[in-house]
Amino acid sequence: EVQLQASGGGLVQTGGSLRLSCAVSGFDFDDYTIGWFRQAPGKEREGASCISTTDGRSYYADSAKGRFTISRDNAKNTVYLQMNSLKPEDTAVYYCALTERVVAFPVNCLTYGMDYWGKGTQVTVSS
């Protein structure tokens, strides 16, 4: 069974950095679309970043672009989200999610309904 385990959340001050990790198991790591989605209290879930192995494209929420970087380590079957210059607005529970379906340009994988979801990791940014 596909399992996604997110980790790396924590409490940081404004301007600080965190590196989230998502370990994937029970899944062939070769071809997939995976991303990070976040949900703040009282708000709808939104995509932060995603990446597809189909065309190699990555996408970022406008609010995250230039500050967040998504990357993969195939040897470790792990996807990372490096978050720099964090703002209080980034405070949310961050979820790692994956789909086996082909998601390629012009489809933005942040808008696609993912199939598998892991438990969230809390990110809190203080002012």
Is the predicted pLDDT of residue 30 greater than 80, yes or no?
Answer: no
Q: What percent of the chain has pLDDT over 90?
A: 76
Position 44 scores a pLDDT of 95
Mean pLDDT over all residues of the chain?
93
Position 29 scores a pLDDT of 62
Sorted by sequence, the CB contacts under 8 Å of residue 6 that are 6+ apart come out as 20, 21, 22, 94, 95, 96, 118, 119, 120, 121
Amino acid, res. 45:
R
Sorted by sequence, the CB contacts under 8 Å of residue 42 that are 6+ apart come out as none
pLDDT tens digits for range 36-81: 999 999 999 999 999 988 888 999 999 999 999 999 888 888 999 9
